[in-house]
Amino acid sequence: MFNQSTNYRKFSFYITIVSLVLGLSFLSTMPAQAITEFIGPEGGEINAGHDSYLIVPEGAMGDLAAALNALDNAIALLEDQYAYIDGLSANENDPSGEWMKLQPRNSARSRSNGVKNYTSSAKQKRIDGNAVGAWRDTNTALTKVNNLRTFIADKLAEGKISVVAHDNIQQQNDQIELELVFAESQLGENLQATSVKEVIALDDATILAELNNALSLLTAQYNYISQLAEADDGSGEWVKPAPKTYTLQDRQAVENRVTTALEYHSGENNTGALNKTRAALDRLDVLGTNNDNRVANGKMGSLARDNIKAYSDDIREVLETVDSLHYETLTFEFGPHGTEFLVPAELVIPLETIFYDGLFWYSGDGGEVVDLIDMDCVIDEVNETVHFFIEHFSQYYYSRR
């Protein structure tokens, strides 16, 4: 548990782990481009943006030995398939009932060999450490299996292969496909990560009124500073000429930021409006600190300092109200949807980004809330990060206002 400064007390955090953001369109528009990384059985790391990242540990995306074994099984099945097709009779009257016309038989044999070549290539690339290449070749082998399946079905329709031979080859294709699908699942996957921060204005009319109120108070503060005596007259309400100029400049810096916040708000740039509001609050701190120094150095009367601060306190209260009327969201999107980890992945987010109390909502594919769950995490106080443990890419929401 930790606290944030007064200026940043309104914050909501969402973790959305899906291939498509569902039920959150009113909150944010995801960036057009996502960060994509291929993560194999060795694991890896994905930059999730906003100083956050997803660590996929070794073994989370599959079992290398199991993948190689499945590829070996597929190669053996393909060798048997090639031999079977090669041994088919070209005579449709063959008493065995297992025949295929010569030209389609040669084509089918070549297609089966093509599947084997890509499968063998996938195995070798995986052994050589080329995880991406292995996955791609396995995927290509699967495509070629389906092409062979379609080819054999077409030849049956054309009367160029017997029913028995057709059924046997398709059964072989089924077995080969099972091994390749399993191998692909153990070789890793392309994972995507996007994230976006957005600010939502909760009450446009009130924000507009409060920013204008702040500007009115700043004008009153300007008028007060302008009429201050420029020599110590014993009243305490004075400031020397040069410090007076600098005090007015400090005050103007606040007004400039409030004016820009108002312009951003009118232009529906909520993020800009909130950032400028917070910048104005920071500049009020600068004004106060500098005035304390001026009093300490005998360049400003203490009563003048106190009265300027009274205006600043009123302005601060107004600007903090504006801050509180903005609602921040941080949305992460990971995909593809449905990805499961054999070992939980670890989402690392800076402590300064979020509040945390362990409360998550799980959402289904349609965005409906399904259940309230506890999500494991560890808070690293040394590195000031929160570590969430993710078992699969579905939807989780964390929200605190």
In the numeric block, which tokens belong to residue 320? 């903090």
Residues comprising the chain, all counted: 401
Per-residue model confidence (pLDDT) at position 7: 31
Residue 357 buriedness (CB in 10 A; 0-12 / 13-18 / 19+): exposed
pLDDT of residue 354: 63
**150 vs 109, 157, 326, CA distance in Å?**
14, 11, 58
Topology at the third CATH level for domain 8-60+192-199+327-397:
Chondroitinase Ac; Chain A, domain 3 (2.60.220)
The set of residues, in sequence order, having a beta carbon less than 8 Å from that of 59 and lying 6+ positions away, is: 41, 43, 342, 343
What is 203-324's CATH topology? de novo design (two linked rop proteins) (1.20.1440)
In a 10 Å sphere around its CB, with 0-12 CB exposed, 13-18 middle and 19+ buried, how is residue 203 labelled? middle
Q: In sequence order, what are the beta bridge partners of 387?
A: 348, 378
Residue pair 164/98 in contact by the 8 Å Cβ criterion: yes
For the chain, where do the domains classified as CATH 2.60.220 start and end?
8-60+192-199+327-397
Q: Model confidence over 362-400: pLDDT tens digits? A: 444 554 444 444 566 788 889 988 888 888 876 554 443
| Residue 228 CB contacts under 8 Å (≥ 6 apart), including other chains | 237, 238, 239, 244, 304
The per-residue pLDDT string of the chain (401 residues; one tens digit each, 9 = 90 and over) reads 233 332 322 333 444 443 322 222 223 344 446 788 999 998 999 998 888 899 999 999 999 999 999 999 999 999 999 999 999 999 998 888 999 999 999 999 999 999 999 999 999 999 998 989 999 999 999 999 999 999 999 999 999 999 999 999 999 999 999 999 999 999 998 998 888 777 889 899 999 999 999 999 999 999 999 999 999 999 999 999 999 999 999 999 999 999 999 999 999 999 999 999 999 999 999 999 999 999 999 999 999 999 999 999 999 999 999 999 998 777 777 888 778 899 999 989 887 766 544 444 444 455 444 444 456 678 888 998 888 888 887 655 444 33
Contact assessment for residue 397 and residue 12, using Cβ atoms and an 8 Å cutoff: no
Q: How far is CA 276 from the centre of its chain?
A: 26
Q: How far apart are CA 376 and CA 305, in angstroms?
A: 51
User: What CATH number does domain 64-187 carry, 3.40.640.10, 3.40.1800.10, 3.30.390.50, 1.20.1440.60?
Assistant: 1.20.1440.60
Q: Where in the chain do CATH 1.20.1440.60 domains reside?
A: 64-187, 203-324
Pull the structure tokens for residue 348. Answer: 């690392």
Q: Encoding tokens for residue 194?
A: 């996007």
